[in-house]
Amino acid sequence: MLLIRSVLFHIAFYLVTAFWASLCVFALVLPRAVVMYFARQWGLSCTRLFTLIVGGTYEVRGKENLPSGERLILASKHMSVFETFSLVPLVDDPLFILKRELTWIPLFGWAVAKGSMIPIDRGARAKTLRSMLARAKQKMAENKRQLIIFPEGTRRLRDLKPHYKFGITHVYKALEVPCYPVALNTGLFWGRQSFILYPGKIIVEILPPIPPGLEPNEFFERISTTIEENSDRLIKEAREGNSKLPPARNI
């Protein structure tokens, strides 16, 4: 049954993604807000598909912590594809920093361009960092956007030791806005390198903000500790009474 549900979801996920990306093509001549509306609907559609096909529930906690229409950073744990779309509907005008190669994908890349995201060349390092920070600051200042970022840089396997990158401190210092940590347990249900999906209680929790102005080391310790401790708590909560989930890894 898990295999059948997983196959059905993957098919539905790519079909729905292609559908919303196709609509974005027609919106290329319309205001950017139209594409952002489609992006939020895409995120909502995919989260509903997961709960309907795979099974289980999806809960967002702490949404009341997010102010509407304000510039901020949403710094999230990254264990699954799930948070790449489920976080989008939680803010008014999401902004992502992503690999420039993603902009080369037909339909999706065009939507990214129209959405005014920030593509980067990961190979350029210092030069890329300066340019990325300048563009992020400009875009957030112009439209009061909300930057969604994954401090670990890439998805991590569940139960694997975290590896936060210090680059998040440069973003925090340059943008001078509140940073909201996001804890989650999505990797239990749709893990990296896993085709099989598992039903259960998916929880995304937006935690109280870290105010701007902290020293880099203090901020780095606070953001990484806050995300990890709370994600561990959510993972433990989800595992209790759910025998269908894979066992914890001994890493």
How far apart CA 100 and CA 118 sit, in angstroms, is 8
How far apart CA 82 and CA 213 sit, in angstroms, is 31
In tens, the pLDDT along 133-182 reads 888 888 888 788 999 999 987 777 666 777 888 889 999 999 999 999 99
Share of the chain above pLDDT 70, in %: 92
Distances in whole angstroms, Cα of residue 150 to Cα of each of 49, 154, 223, 244: 24, 7, 11, 28
For residues 149 and 111, which has the higher predicted lDDT (pLDDT)?
Answer: 149
Strand order in the sheet with 72-76: 56-61, 200-206, 179-184, 72-76, 146-149, 94-99, 118-120
For residue 2, the Cα-to-chain-centroid distance in whole angstroms is: 25
Give the pLDDT score at 158: 66
Confidence of residue 26 (pLDDT cuts 50, 70, 90): confident
Give the pLDDT score at 233: 94
For the chain, what are the domain ranges? 2-239
Give the pLDDT score at 247: 66
Across the chain, mean pLDDT equals: 87
Q: Which uninterrupted H or E stretch holds 3?
A: helix 2-26
How far apart CA 119 and CA 122 sit, in angstroms, is 9
* Dihedral, CA of residue 95, residue 98, residue 102 and residue 103, to nearest 10: 50
pLDDT for residue 242 is more than 70:
yes
For residues 138 and 229, which has the higher predicted lDDT (pLDDT)?
Answer: 229
CA atoms within 13 A on the CB side of 112: 19
pLDDT for residue 250 is more than 70:
no
- Written as one letter, the residue type at 243 is S
Q: Give the residue among 39, 36, 47 at the shortest CA–CA distance from 13.
A: 47
For residues 20 and 122, which has the higher predicted lDDT (pLDDT)?
Answer: 20
pTM score = 0.90
CA atoms within 13 A on the CB side of 232: 10
Q: Assign domain 2-239 one CATH number from 1.20.120, 2.40.128, 3.40.720, 3.40.1130.
A: 3.40.1130
Alpha helices in 87-208, H assignment, sequence order: 108-114, 126-143, 167-175
Confidence of residue 243 (pLDDT cuts 50, 70, 90): low
Confidence of residue 31 (pLDDT cuts 50, 70, 90): confident
For residues 121 and 219, which has the higher predicted lDDT (pLDDT)?
Answer: 219
Look at the block and give the residue holding tokens 């975290």: 162
Largest CA distance in the chain: 52
Give the pLDDT score at 189: 93
